[in-house]
């Protein structure tokens, strides 16, 4: 079995139950073997019943499904649901496909759903698990950097609505998270960069020292040094686990994890789901939030320049597409953080120190939203 990269294991403490995040790096023999699949062996102890539904997509299935499915099938009744690939399929139609697969097999409350994929598969599988028969177990096997550092941990599950990202969903915690670092070897470079946006996010909101660490280590991460990537995943998961333990349902500190997301969701929704990657939109959103923080007088111009440099080092965009200011404000009005009709944003008091606030001059926000790229698309 692949040895966990870290022996001081990570645990997420939540109201419903505690669960582990296991970070492993399996050998190439293990990767190609359907006999000794390390992934299957790691998750088996967390499957409580006899029924298993693996949910994945048509890109990931040819890469990792066989190595997971075959060893599990020796001990469990295993069925597979393969969804189309893409953010544009993060919708009710795909959720219905998962329900259909569960119903077709007469699966019941004993079933464990396994999300094998990135954040789209993880969010949808989790939502199907939260709602099927009022809630069944699920396990996250995140295969993108973004899902390893963020979406697989903390129990936010859901789908998009045509008018807003992640508008329909539930908090539903997995039984475990298995981040197998070698899956990143097949991840397209653009997707790796999108994941780096969420990694950089943790540094900007929580830990300026981690920002310095990233400035030194981003080149190794982009060259797929799995040990360095594993260290980053571990640090990010620890930040996230700490936040989730304090505020599982996002009534306070958890909102800070959405740094850059209100601006980013405007881009994703306006440009069409899937055209800008979530992490790319968040990268630009973090720049916009930093610019607003500077206009308020909290960040210096050098801080903002440093943020832009680190995002550029990770091959991420830093300039928004042209979106009419009123349209952007309307889209921001749908944000889940809006309270009493007021837009609330996560801004930076300093690098590593974020706040959720509505205490800013609306004109400063308008100024930030007015600045955009002159070309069609800057990604």
**CA 93 to the chain's CA centroid:** 21
- Structure token digits, residue 45: 């102890």
Candidate list 90, 156, 201, 372, residue with the active-site label: 156
Residue 278 appears among annotated catalytic residues: yes
x-or-dash string of contact with ligand NAD, 288-327, rule CB under 6 A: ----------------------------------------
Which of the choices ligand GLY, ligand NAD, none does residue 131 contact, using the CB cut-off of 5 to 8 A by kind?
none
Q: Any contact of residue 146 with ligand NAD (CB under 6 A)?
A: yes
* 50 and 82 Cβ atoms separated by less than 8 Å: no
Q: Which stretch binds ligand NAD (CB under 6 A): 37-45, 98-106, 140-148, 247-255?
A: 140-148
Neighbour count for residue 13 (Cβ, 10 Å): 13
Task: Quote the Cα angle for 271-272-277, to 5°.
Answer: 80
Q: Identify residues 154-193 at the interface with ligand GLY (CB under 6 A).
A: 154, 156
* Residue from 5, 78, 121, 243 binding ligand NAD (CB under 6 A): 121
Q: Which residues contact 297 (CB under 8 A, 6 or more apart)?
A: none
What is the rounded CA–CA span in Å between residue 320 and residue 378? 7
Rg (CA), the chain: 20
Q: Which residues contact 216 (CB under 8 A, 6 or more apart)?
A: none
Which of the choices ligand GLY, ligand NAD, none does residue 51 contact, using the CB cut-off of 5 to 8 A by kind?
none
| H or E stretch covering 104 | helix 92-104
Q: Which stretch binds ligand NAD (CB under 6 A): 1-9, 55-63, 171-179, 218-226?
A: 55-63
Q: Any contact of residue 144 with ligand NAD (CB under 6 A)?
A: yes
What is the rounded CA–CA span in Å between residue 67 and residue 1? 13
Place of tokens 């069409």: 272
Q: Comparing C-alpha atoms, which of 146, 122, 177 is closest to residue 278?
A: 146
- DSSP annotation of 163: T
Candidate list 69, 250, 268, 280, residue with the active-site label: 250
Kindly report the length of the chain.
Answer: 379
Q: Which CB atom, from 128 or from 257, has the smaller least distance to ligand GLY? A: 257
Strand positions, DSSP E, 257-372: 345-350, 353-357
Q: Any contact of residue 150 with ligand GLY (CB under 6 A)?
A: yes
Residue 190 appears among annotated catalytic residues: no
Candidate list 165, 234, 254, 306, residue with the active-site label: 254
Residue 216 appears among annotated catalytic residues: no
Q: Which CB atom, from 46 or from 276, has the smaller least distance to ligand NAD? A: 276
Q: Which residues here bind ligand GLY, judged by CB under 6 A?
A: 150, 154, 156, 254, 257-258
Residues at the contact surface with ligand NAD, assessed by CB under 6 A: 57, 59-60, 63, 85, 87, 90, 117-121, 123, 143-144, 146-147, 150-151, 154, 156, 165-166, 183, 186-187, 191, 194, 278-279
Question: Active-site residue numbers?
Answer: 134, 156, 198, 240, 250, 254, 258, 261, 265, 278
């Amino acid at each position: 079995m692949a040895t966990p990269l870290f022996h001081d294991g990570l645990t997420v403490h939540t109201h419903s139950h505690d669960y582990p995040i296991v970070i492993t790096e399996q050998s190439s023999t293990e990767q190609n073997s359907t006999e000794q699949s390390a992934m299957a062996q790691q998750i088996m102890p967390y499957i409580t019943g006899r029924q298993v539904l693996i949910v994945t997509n048509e890109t990931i299935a040819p890469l990792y499904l066989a190595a997971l499915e075959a060893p599990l099938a020796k001990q469990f009744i295993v069925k597979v649901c393969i969804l189309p690939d893409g953010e544009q399929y993060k919708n009710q139609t795909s959720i219905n496909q998962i329900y259909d697969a569960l119903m077709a097999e007469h699966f019941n409350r004993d079933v464990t759903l396994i999300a094998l994929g990135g954040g789209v598969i993880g969010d949808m599988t989790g939502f199907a698990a939260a709602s099927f028969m009022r809630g069944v177990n699920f396990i996250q096997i995140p295969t993108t950097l973004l899902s390893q550092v963020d979406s697989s941990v903390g129990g936010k599950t859901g789908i998009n609505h045509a008018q807003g990202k992640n508008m329909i969903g539930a908090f539903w915690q997995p039984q475990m998270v298995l981040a197998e670092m070698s899956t990143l070897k097949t991840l397209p470079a653009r997707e790796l960069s999108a994941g780096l946006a969420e990694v950089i996010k943790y540094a900007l909101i929580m830990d300026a020292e981690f920002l310095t660490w990233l400035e030194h280590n981003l080149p190794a991460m982009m060259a797929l040094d799995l040990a360095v990537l594993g260290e980053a995943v571990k640090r990010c998961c620890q930040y996230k686990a700490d936040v989730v333990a304090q505020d599982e349902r996002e009534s306070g500190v958890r909102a800070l994890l959405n740094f850059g997301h209100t601006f980013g969701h405007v881009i994703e929704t306006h440009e069409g789901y899937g055209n800008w990657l979530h992490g790319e939109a968040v990268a630009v959103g973090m720049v916009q939030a930093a610019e607003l923080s500077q206009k308020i007088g909290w960040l210096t111009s050098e801080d903002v320049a440093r943020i832009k440099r680190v995002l550029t080092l990770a091959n991420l965009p830093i300039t928004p597409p042209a979106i009419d200011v009123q349209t952007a404000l309307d889209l921001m009005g749908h944000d889940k953080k809006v309270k009493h009709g007021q837009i609330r944003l996560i801004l930076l008091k300093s690098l590593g120190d974020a706040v959720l606030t509505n205490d800013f001059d609306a004109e400063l926000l308008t100024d930030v939203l007015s600045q955009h790229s002159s070309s069609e698309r800057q990604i």
